[in-house]
Amino acid sequence: MKTEALDPRYRDLDLWPTELAVEAMLEGQMAAIAAIQSQTLAIARAAEAAAERLGDEGRLVFVGAGTSGRLAVQDGTELYPTYGWPMERMAFLMAGGLDALTEAQEGAEDDAEAGRAEIDALRVGPNDVVIGVAASGRTPYTLAAVERAGELGAVTISVANNVGSVLLGAAQYPLCAVTGSEIVAGSTRMKAGTAQKAMLNLLSTAIMIRRGLVHEGRMVAMRISNAKLLQRGQGMVQDIAGVDADTAAHALQAAGNEIRLGVIVALGKSVAEGEALLRENGGNLRNALKALEGRD
């Protein structure tokens, strides 16, 4: 595997001046991002398929081991505060359990049976989207989980860093950034990890966009949990509805700090009318505003 191979250029890395070592590592990070360029179409197709399949009930299921698993969990957990994606519509399968997020669980990644069993325990089905992440593309736990999810009819997406790996072949939508040898041999938390995190960012954000949770480049479904976000939310309502600051603030408060609902309330509709309008349009604010314009 290229991700595990020793690059002879860095055999004496421990003897280099620290600044040169850091420069070399930075070059590796930039190369990792560049490796994703060939995957933009594949990421877009995976996102479109996932967004369509999720519907009103489907779940996003993130699967991985070690660094790859931690990156997958990090990406998924950010979707609720950023886009309001319900936590009950997400699941995280980490080899060795969630304790492995902070402490390595030796041998857990080799337990293929656990991967299959945990997919079964979640009752994964055709409405779900399962995303498996492994730098090597052959981690038994992750591979088994993705294979089992596919058997159960879920949309399966894989993220890996080795061309031709079995994980890529097991998923309907394979995503592969070829990052090659690491500067510190086998330390896939570096280039491979950087590419994985970026691909996950792109994939999950594209899914949220296609689910209608972004309006005019704004996170209109975000959870307001502090003063800074409240101010941001009020600004969104003010700009989108075209009202003054006081009207926006009162509308958002009446809407229970739900930005999309606040926009509709700021336009003169009741909370009940706004909720119905959003429900009829699947939570998509753009479509709701078009429907409102048509009614008026």
**Residue pLDDT, tens place only, 234-248:** 999 999 999 999 999
Nearby residues of 144 by Cβ (< 8 Å), 6 or more positions away = 112, 113, 114, 115, 116
> For tokens 């926006």, what's the residue?
248
> For tokens 């592969």, what's the residue?
176
Architecture of the domain made up of 8-210: 3-Layer(aba) Sandwich (3.40)
**Residue pLDDT, tens place only, 251-266:** 999 999 999 999 999 9
User: Which burial class, exposed, middle or buried, applies to 251 when counting CB atoms under 10 A from its CB (0-12, 13-18, 19+)?
Assistant: buried
Identify the bridge partners of residue 155 per DSSP, sorted by sequence position: 129
> For tokens 């990792």, what's the residue?
32
C-alpha atoms less than 13 angstroms from C-alpha of 185 in its C-beta half-sphere: 12
User: Which burial class, exposed, middle or buried, applies to 275 when counting CB atoms under 10 A from its CB (0-12, 13-18, 19+)?
Assistant: middle
Give the 3-state secondary structure percentages of the chain, helix then strand then coil, rounded to 5: 55, 10, 35
Q: What is the pLDDT of residue 103?
A: 83
Helices (H) and strands (E) in the chain, counts: 13, 5
User: Residue range 116-125: average pLDDT?
Assistant: 98
CATH number for the domain formed by residue range(s) 227-295: 1.10.8.1080
Q: What is the pLDDT of residue 75?
A: 97
Per-residue confidence at 100, pLDDT binned at 50, 70, 90?
A: confident
Q: What is the pLDDT of residue 296?
A: 61
Separation of alpha carbons 146 and 167, rounded Å: 8
Q: Which residues are catalytic?
A: 78, 109
Q: Is there a contact between 196 and 71 (Cβ–Cβ < 8 Å)?
A: yes
- Domain ranges in the chain are 8-210, 227-295
User: Residue range 47-65: average pLDDT?
Assistant: 97
Rg (CA), the chain: 22
Instruction: Give me the chain's average pLDDT, please.
Output: 95
Query: What amino acid occupies position 87?
Result: M
| Residue 241: φ, ψ to 5° | -80, -20
Separation of alpha carbons 291 and 68, rounded Å: 43
Share of the chain above pLDDT 90, in %: 90
Spatial strand order of the sheet with 129-133 comes to 90-94, 60-64, 129-133, 155-160, 173-176
H/E element holding 157? strand 155-160
**Residue pLDDT, tens place only, 210-226:** 999 999 999 999 999 99
Q: How far apart are the first and last CA of the chain?
A: 62
> For tokens 């360029």, what's the residue?
37
Nearby residues of 28 by Cβ (< 8 Å), 6 or more positions away = 182, 183, 190, 191
Share of the chain above pLDDT 70, in %: 99
Handedness of CA 139, 140, 143, 146 (dihedral sign): negative
Separation of alpha carbons 145 and 31, rounded Å: 30
Kindly report the pTM of this predicted structure. 0.93
